[in-house]
Structure 1
Amino acid sequence: MAPSAASSILLLLALLHPAAAAARHRHRLAASLRAAPPDASPPPTTFFEVDRPIRPPRGSAGPCSALLLSGTFGATYGRPPATAAYAPPACLGAARARGAGLALAVLEWSADCRGRQFDRIFGVWLAGAELLRSCTAEPRPNGILWSVSRDVTRYAALLAEPGEVAVYLGNLVDKTYTGVYHANLTLHLYFHAAPPQQQQQADLILPISRSLPLNDGQWFAIQNSTDVQSKRLAIPSKTYRAVLEVFVSFHSNDEFWYTNPPNDYIQANNLSNVPGNGAFREVVARVDGEVVGAVWPFTVIYTGGVNPLLWRPITGIGSFNLPTYDIEITPFLGKLLDGKEHDFGFGVTDALDVWYIDANLHLWLDHKSEKTTGSLLSYDASGLDYNVNSEFSGLDGQFVTSASRHMSATGWVKSSYGEVTTTFYQRFSYENSNVFRKNGTVQIVNQTIDAKSGIFAKDASSVLLSGEFHEVFPLYLYTGTSDKVGDEYSLDSLVKFGINEKKTSGGKLGFSFNSLQNAQSARGTMRVKKNLVVSGLGKTDQVYKYVGTDGCYFRDVSSRNYTILFDRSDDSCSKGAYSGASTKLNNQSARRKLLVNKL
């Protein structure tokens, strides 16, 4: 399928080597399960991603809502994005005129589709800055509905200025794949009675993306390990803080990069069409060729991934609202305040075609002076520690990959706020075990990504900002193919993955803390013929637990082939609301360890 669409897929490279079927998740799949009889007239199914509801702050007024774009996406692959002129909603100007502050901005994507179709990646941009990266749901004959809401308050500076909204959703329609996506994009605004005392959002946001017109998304397409895509920008000379927000998604040969065997395994077994380069990837951000930060991305599984029946109607973590990653580059401002253009670029270690990457540069400006000054005091980006141990015989074997990286930078910036010294660091570790068994028809992946970052900013007398963000991404994936007859085969699969994160911050803006445990477990079988799922079963369980100074949220939900078995949620912060969730999460972890030992 076209690389601009999220490769929906699964397994089979029986076309490449019958015994390597479990090794590769490359063929795109769409379900063709029989629908209910026409006289039953079943209603459309609502798909959803489990996430914390976005709620306006207490005492805020709204919403004030504006439809930004309404579009139909049929034969749109390789064509220009859908666009619409953007003017700040009248309520935003009125609120500013009366001295009210923006409390919350929410971008809502709502869509429907009927028929059969693969999953498709899409992006939403305003004035070249990406606001949302998402994957479509895969439809069914009686139709589906879904919506995605993203907090876009941090883009307040963009929302206050005229611009152009662009949406790229590359889709193909033919006699078999008939689904056409109909979507509305809406902005909802809420307001405080007065502006906040402290400036939290950036004053200026510069897009690091491709410019219109083009026949694709505005993201950069990274096609291999040596491909570096970049854009030259000059930043205002009165900037005193800078944060790089990075959007990342992986497709085609690298959609399941964490399952890729090393090249020596591929060469030894003459599997020339099987993607390789091993099972590790990192996105590296550079300024003028110098590494300023990295992203070790969460393993998003799109709505057609592994077994499409797993993600109906509960979709995979992050698939409707792909995460973004922040890199504090304030320590490097001393090199960027010269009024000249500088090169902001991205590459992907060991990449295969294709990764979509772009970024937004958030800048805070000193309105009381015309120029700030600064200098880099210390910098350490000693490089990537990366090891692969391989042991295999024929199509069976084990590959253990480990990696780590540490980087830090300290710099000062002098503005009307005084001389502020900022330190930013990142620490990453990675472990991946890939096991092939039963003549390559079974693959078992065990992986953990551990990412920690921190910021510390102080002036001569006090700490202005301190914070630490710690994320752990566990992943377990089992796939096994059997009963291959001609162009048909059966697949068993088990997926367990999630996000465990903690975030603390303090300083003049006050103290905040939040913790998230988001665990998903999905098991299924399917019979595939000519890349169509003709029968099968998918069952998914998910527990979401958030606790923070800004509130709490708990949800425990389970589904089986389009049907919700149970759905329990609570937004209180009482211990009782979460005791059951903690027990279930611990039991899931214990069962996972037991299963791994048995395998």
Structure 2
Amino acid sequence: MASPTTSSCLLFLLALLLPHAAVGVPRRHRFPPLQLAPVNASEPPTTFFEVDRPIRPPGGSAGPCSTLLLSDSFGYTYGQPPSAAAYAPPNCLAAARAGGGSVALAVLEWSADCRGLQFDRIFGVWLSGAELLRGCTAEPRPNGIHWSVSHDVTRYAALLSAPGEVAVYLGNIVDQTYTGVYHVNLTLHLYFASTPPPPQHADLILPVSRSLPLHDGQWFCIQSSADVQSKKLAVPSNTYRAVLEVFVSFHGSDEFWYTNPPNEYIEANNLSDFPGNGAFREIIVKVDEDVVGAVWPFTVIYTGGVNPLLWRPITGVGSFSLPTYDIDITPFLGKLLDGKKHAFSFGVTNALDVWYVDANLHLWLDHNSKKTTGGLVSYNAATSGPSVESEFSELDGQFVTTASRHVSATGWVESSHGKVMTTFYQRFSYKNSNVYSKNGVVQVVNQTIDATSGVSSTNGTTLLLSEEVHQVFPLYLFSGTSDEVGDEYSMVSVVKLGINEKRANSSLQNVQSARGSMRVKKNLVISGSGQNHQVYKYIGADGCYFRDVSSKDYTINFDHTDDSCLKRSRDVSSRFPSRLFGGSVDITAHVDI
């Protein structure tokens, strides 16, 4: 029998099968489409993809050496144990290490296909309890679909060098209506360098996750704002650096948390079945009682979200390979080097059921010392918000939510590398505007998350490490319903989202604009259309990549790619003007998109 936590955690999938709220009040943005066109038996499967730059092996590296880790089909897997397979380091890895070489690049490839009708499903991949990849499945069509994800897992070189167990959880339900079975191959590709391993990769990785056996994924399930999940770990006494890598995904009542109105709106309009608690969420990460950092997550939209026809074949930013978030806890090592177990915990502000959260603790060990020492010099975890300004009359109104947070810590660690002072900091700001109009059938969301994090280390005379990343996550969402006839209605959606990221040696602009309309009957899409346009521009010391791609109704309109660093005549900003992430939308102007 599953534990109470697991049983409750699995309930969110069942909620996806329930009818949505009636037209006339805000609704959840999730629909599985029916077959919208006659089946052509000769038509090949459709290839879905997420726009991202290709992973290139370092110059001079040898490989790939490829190993199939797991091959399985996921049909009647809801509430069942993960698919698992023993892992042994490939022979080529042992041979490379014996010759003094190291892993230059490790790529985990997820390759899957499916046909029929099915919801999108979340999946996770773990090695020895440490999560390597989390993603969303594509939604199939009768002739079949295929997609693959190549994920850089070089930072897990220490895990890949030791025997363990691979686990994959993909909870799926198959019945007379939802017939899609996901067939998956998981492959590891290794490339080798003739030099020793670089010091930026951790010597030891400890999973902060649930342990097998389970009838679910190894993630923690956070079901409310009062729900705090934790695991106790002992840190080796010769650790000199520690980074916590956090995985986050949101589902059920909080899948579209950024669209949720405050509880006062829910209560005033007697919408007890509609999710509330406002439009702000943050993941609080603690070690014992100290807040060591926070995650203000990117608003990933899964392949069945808002209007599933928007994401065919170009899927939403981050949906096939969800982003992770690093928190450097080196300043706190002085409290953790006592040989005792310490609690690593996660909570979500204003959470509704359900959030999946776990983490990997990356540790660097001093091989020339049995014991390191340390101390915390300064610490601040100030927060402001969330603050909500609201004004509404019955189902129409506006809610503006703002928040900010600053986390910083400075500490020292003394090892054979000397006495090193490390500072880690985070700065967040958040603004969300939610507007309901036309008796609640139209909702417009404008949101911006601005996040800066950085780490620096010095031995007193030399700057050993200096890294900073600044990310801005803009989001615009328009959703409107009309033409209600019985259990049918029309819905128009516009989604504009992206990531703007700057680091010392690189910059990324990844923006996506999608719009479409559909006719919904009994919570199923019976007709409709969707189009998507995405521009991806990366410039870095390791090269450049540019892609401008557009699709409509499974068909690619154009796809322009360039991997040179030549100056281009048009920038992302010229293709996507400033009003991309703002402005008003008239429902009547988009019904016939």
Tell me if both proteins adopt one fold, taking TM over 0.5 as the criterion.
Answer: yes
Distance 1:7 1:87, change over 3 A: farther
Contact 1:397 1:435 in 2 (8 A): yes
Contact 2:474 2:581 in 1 (8 A): no
The residue number in structure 1 matching 2:4 is none
Equivalent of residue 540 in structure 2, options 548, 557, 567? 548
Q: What is the CA-CA distance between 1:486 and the residue it aligns to?
A: 1.9
Whole-Å separation in 1 of the counterparts to 2:316 and 2:553: 14
Contact 1:5 1:121 in 2 (8 A): no
Whole-Å separation in 1 of the counterparts to 2:268 and 2:69: 54
Whole-Å separation in 2 of the counterparts to 1:531 and 1:157: 47
Contact 2:437 2:443 in 1 (8 A): yes
Whole-Å separation in 2 of the counterparts to 1:122 and 1:181: 11
Q: Which amino acid aligns with 1:31?
A: P
The residue number in structure 1 matching 2:526 is 534
The residue number in structure 2 matching 1:491 is 491
Whole-Å separation in 1 of the counterparts to 2:12 and 2:238: 39
Q: Which amino acid aligns with 2:535?
A: V
Q: Show CA shifts across 1:194-222 (max 9, x none).
A: 225x4110000000000000100000000
Tell me the SS of whatever aligns to 1:30.
coil
Tell me the SS of whatever aligns to 1:174.
coil
Distance 1:546 1:50, change over 3 A: same
Whole-Å separation in 2 of the counterparts to 1:9 and 1:324: 29
Whole-Å separation in 2 of the counterparts to 1:54 and 1:249: 24
Q: Which amino acid aligns with 2:28?
A: H
The residue number in structure 1 matching 2:75 is 74
Contact 1:209 1:218 in 2 (8 A): yes
Distance 1:6 1:298, change over 3 A: farther
Whole-Å separation in 2 of the counterparts to 1:532 and 1:129: 37
2:149 aligned with 1:148: yes
Whole-Å separation in 1 of the counterparts to 2:43 and 2:16: 26
Tell me the SS of whatever aligns to 2:92.
helix
The number of residue pairs the alignment matches comes to 580
Tell me the SS of whatever aligns to 2:44.
coil
Q: Which amino acid aligns with 1:13?
A: A
Contact 1:396 1:440 in 2 (8 A): yes
Equivalent of residue 559 in structure 1, options 545, 551, 573? 551
TM-score of the two chains, using structure 2 as the length reference:
0.95
Q: What is the CA-CA distance between 1:288 and the residue it aligns to?
A: 0.5
Q: Which amino acid aligns with 2:171?
A: G
Contact 1:222 1:357 in 2 (8 A): yes
2:190 aligned with 1:223: no
Distance 1:297 1:279, change over 3 A: same
Distance 1:291 1:37, change over 3 A: closer
Structure 1: which 5+ residue stretches go unaligned?
505-512
Equivalent of residue 582 in structure 1, options 562, 567, 572? 572
Tell me the SS of whatever aligns to 1:158.
helix
Contact 1:6 1:252 in 2 (8 A): no
Instruction: Quote the RMSD (CA, aligned, Å).
Output: 1.8
Q: Show CA shifts across 1:325-344 (max 9, x none).
A: 00000000000000000000
The residue number in structure 1 matching 2:31 is 29
Distance 1:124 1:231, change over 3 A: same
2:133 aligned with 1:128: no
Q: Which amino acid aligns with 2:104?
A: A
Whole-Å separation in 2 of the counterparts to 1:286 and 1:68: 34
Q: Which amino acid aligns with 2:114?
A: C
Structure 2: which 5+ residue stretches go unaligned?
1-8
Distance 1:478 1:48, change over 3 A: same
2:51 aligned with 1:50: yes
Contact 1:9 1:25 in 2 (8 A): no
Distance 1:31 1:195, change over 3 A: same
2:360 aligned with 1:360: yes
Q: What is the CA-CA distance between 1:94 and the residue it aligns to?
A: 0.3
Q: What is the CA-CA distance between 1:289 and the residue it aligns to?
A: 2.1
Q: What is the CA-CA distance between 1:460 and the residue it aligns to?
A: 2.4
The residue number in structure 2 matching 1:332 is 332
Q: Show CA shifts across 1:282-330 (max 9, x none).
A: 0000001221000000000000000000000000000000000000000
Whole-Å separation in 2 of the counterparts to 1:337 and 1:446: 45
Distance 1:451 1:364, change over 3 A: same
Q: For 1:101-140, list aligned pairs within 5 A.
A: 101-140=102-141
Tell me the SS of whatever aligns to 1:19.
coil
Q: Which amino acid aligns with 1:529?
A: K
Q: Which amino acid aligns with 2:521?
A: K
The residue number in structure 1 matching 2:188 is 187
Whole-Å separation in 2 of the counterparts to 1:518 and 1:116: 30
Tell me the SS of whatever aligns to 1:584.
helix
Q: Show CA shifts across 1:472-530 (max 9, x none).
A: 000000000111122211100000000000112xxxxxxxx110000000000000112
2:561 aligned with 1:573: no
The residue number in structure 1 matching 2:293 is 293
Q: Show CA shifts across 1:521-569 (max 9, x none).
A: 0000000112211100000000000001111000000000100000000
The residue number in structure 1 matching 2:21 is 13
Q: What is the CA-CA distance between 1:580 and the residue it aligns to?
A: 2.1
Q: What is the CA-CA distance between 1:101 and the residue it aligns to?
A: 1.6
Whole-Å separation in 1 of the counterparts to 2:172 and 2:523: 18
The residue number in structure 1 matching 2:3 is none
Distance 1:304 1:37, change over 3 A: closer
Whole-Å separation in 1 of the counterparts to 2:554 and 2:490: 20
Contact 2:19 2:522 in 1 (8 A): no
TM-score of the two chains, using structure 1 as the length reference:
0.94
Whole-Å separation in 1 of the counterparts to 2:573 and 2:390: 37
The residue number in structure 2 matching 1:164 is 165
Q: Which amino acid aligns with 2:556?
A: I
Q: Which amino acid aligns with 2:574?
A: K
Tell me the SS of whatever aligns to 1:31.
coil
The residue number in structure 2 matching 1:429 is 429
The residue number in structure 1 matching 2:84 is 83
Q: Show CA shifts across 1:357-390 (max 9, x none).
A: 0000000000000000000000011234320001
Whole-Å separation in 2 of the counterparts to 1:151 and 1:6: 33
Contact 2:121 2:171 in 1 (8 A): yes
Contact 1:268 1:394 in 2 (8 A): yes
Q: What is the CA-CA distance between 1:34 and the residue it aligns to?
A: 3.5
Contact 1:396 1:437 in 2 (8 A): yes
Contact 2:236 2:339 in 1 (8 A): yes
Whole-Å separation in 1 of the counterparts to 2:179 and 2:18: 20
Contact 2:476 2:582 in 1 (8 A): no
Contact 1:85 1:165 in 2 (8 A): yes
Q: Which amino acid aligns with 1:68?
A: L
Q: For 1:372-391, list aligned pairs within 5 A.
A: 372-391=372-391
Tell me the SS of whatever aligns to 1:580.
coil
Distance 1:10 1:442, change over 3 A: farther
Whole-Å separation in 1 of the counterparts to 2:385 and 2:457: 29
Whole-Å separation in 1 of the counterparts to 2:216 and 2:583: 46
Tell me the SS of whatever aligns to 1:176.
coil
Contact 1:35 1:142 in 2 (8 A): no
Whole-Å separation in 1 of the counterparts to 2:208 and 2:176: 38
Whole-Å separation in 2 of the counterparts to 1:59 and 1:422: 34
Distance 1:591 1:99, change over 3 A: closer
Whole-Å separation in 2 of the counterparts to 1:52 and 1:167: 25
Q: Which amino acid aligns with 1:168?
A: Y
Tell me the SS of whatever aligns to 1:300.
coil
Q: What is the CA-CA distance between 1:29 and the residue it aligns to?
A: 1.7
The residue number in structure 2 matching 1:507 is none
Whole-Å separation in 1 of the counterparts to 2:427 and 2:472: 12
Whole-Å separation in 1 of the counterparts to 2:187 and 2:97: 21
Contact 1:7 1:251 in 2 (8 A): no
